[in-house]
Copies of this chain bind each other. A is one copy, B any other.
Amino acid sequence: MVQSLRSISPIPLSSEGFAEFGDVLAFNSGDSEAKAINQGQCIRLNDLADLDFDPSGRMGVSLFHSTVYTLPHRFDLMERHPYGPQVFFPLDLGRLLIVVALDNKGIPIYPQCFISSELQGINIHRGVWHGVLTPVAGTGKVIVFDWIGGQNNLEEYTFKQPWQIEFTRLET
């Protein structure tokens, strides 16, 4: 039997579009909580992520250095983390391909793909299905803030048919 490819077109990351899956961290958000600190020399965009995590562990800071991917990109694996969210922010003006999906009784459905702009990061909410870290610009260096604890925090799902994310111009 021939395996057919299923295709996804990426769209630019925005707070509104991503709201069902997590938070967008960006400097141009017009956040009402922006406040001046340090005698007016610094703007603080305060508390941008919903960090709901299981109290059996804690949130920790890690650095990831990933392969940089090219489009079109094929994948068949998604994952989710039952114990906490995951914050990702590129450290080199890089850009991320972000695949997320809804859940139907333990199966990821309706995968969607976003592309971040420079100086955008994300918080993927606890338990939300997502693809692995997929930088498509920069050197693949990313700061991560996620749950660290004793339980297995990784659940994976492999699609029988792969998905393909189509080429797009990386417009900002």
Contact = CB atoms under 8 A, between A and B. Distances in A.
B91 A42 contact: no
A25 B59 CA distance: 16
A135 to B, nearest CB: 9
Given A89-B143, A119-B91, A121-B143, A41 B60 contact: no
Interface string A24-52: 01110000000001110111111111010
Chain A contact residues (Cβ within 8 angstroms of B): what range? Answer: 35 or more
A158 to B, nearest CB: 11
Q: Within the oligomer, what is the number of copies of this chain?
A: 2
Contacts of A65: 27, 42-43, 45
Interface of A: 25-27, 37-39, 41-49, 51, 58-67, 77, 87, 89-93, 119, 121, 123, 132-133, 140-141, 143-145, 148
Nearest to A45: B63
